[in-house]
Structure formats: C-alpha cells, structure tokens
Amino acid sequence: MTKTNFKHILVGVDDSADALLAFQYAISTAKQNDARLTIVSVLESHDMSVYQALDKDYIHGERSELEEHIKVYLKQAQDAGIEKVNALVSEGNPGETIVRDVIPHVKPDLLLIGSIAKKGLKRRFGSQAAYMAKYAPISVLVIR
C-alpha cells in the first residue's frame, strides 16, 4: 500500500467547531506534505430573507464582511508556516457550490471538511459534509 501525498488541499471554513478542527488538520497536513492550501467559505443565500437576497448592497456588504473575515484564516495559516496559501469566498449552497464550482476552479486533490454528528430529525436529512463526500470528484476527509 502506498501513501498518498496531497499537493493541493482545499478546506471549507464557517466558524463552527468542526470546521475549525478541519482547518487545523488542513494546516498540519499541508505542512507535512509541503502542499498548497486553499481556504474557502461560502456565503449561504438561504440564511437571508427574500428582501435581503434581492438587495445588491446587502449581498455586497455580507460578502465583503466574509472576505475580510476569511483573511483571519489566511493569516493563521501563514503564521503556522504555510507559504502556499490562498483564500476565496463563494456564494450559494455550501456543498453544491464547493463540489460544482470551487473544486473544478481550484483543482485540489483533497477536500477537508468538518461534520458535526446530528441527532434526531436533522440526521435524516443529510448534511453538507455527506453531500460533498458523496459527490466530490476528489478525496474527501471529514473531520469530527
């Protein structure tokens, strides 16, 4: 059995505890493999009211805030010694956006994502992590 060396890692972040774990794991893995790291956060349109979604100034403001916030992750990765790192913000449903838009554009060979184990009815409807693990055309590592 051969060990896979990943050269370009994509990590999704959203400030949840599981995403923060995935981010820390991505930093560690990128350092071990001397890999490029791309950090992505997705502005979710379903978190907005219809009026907010139609207001271009609101969307632009939300996106600008997220772009500023993702710079914190970028700096953390740089401070940890990752030299080849970049960050981007996309919009839409996180799972679908990462699988259909971000991965083809960025061309990573590993996707690192967090996943909180859900209880009750929520686990019946699936999750973003399950969607990405099922449909991503690359290796996916789900961190809990």
What is the topology classification, in CATH, of domain 8-143? Rossmann fold (3.40.50)
| Mean pLDDT score, 22-31 | 97
SS3 sequence, 17-67?
Answer: HHHHHHHHHHHHHHHHHCCEEEEEEEECHHHCCHHHHHCHHHHHHHHHHHH
Please name the residue that has the structure tokens 């907010």. 52
Q: What gap in Å lies between CA 117 and CA 29, rounded to an integer?
A: 23
Supply the pLDDT for residue 62.
75
- pLDDT above 70 for 117: no
pLDDT level of residue 3 (50, 70, 90 thresholds) = low
Domain ranges of the chain: 8-143
> For residue 85, what is the enclosing H or E element?
strand 85-91
For the entire predicted model, the pTM comes to 0.84
- pLDDT above 70 for 141: yes
Task: Tell me the pLDDT tens digit for each residue of 42-100.
Answer: 987 655 444 444 445 444 457 789 899 999 999 999 999 999 999 999 988 899 999 99
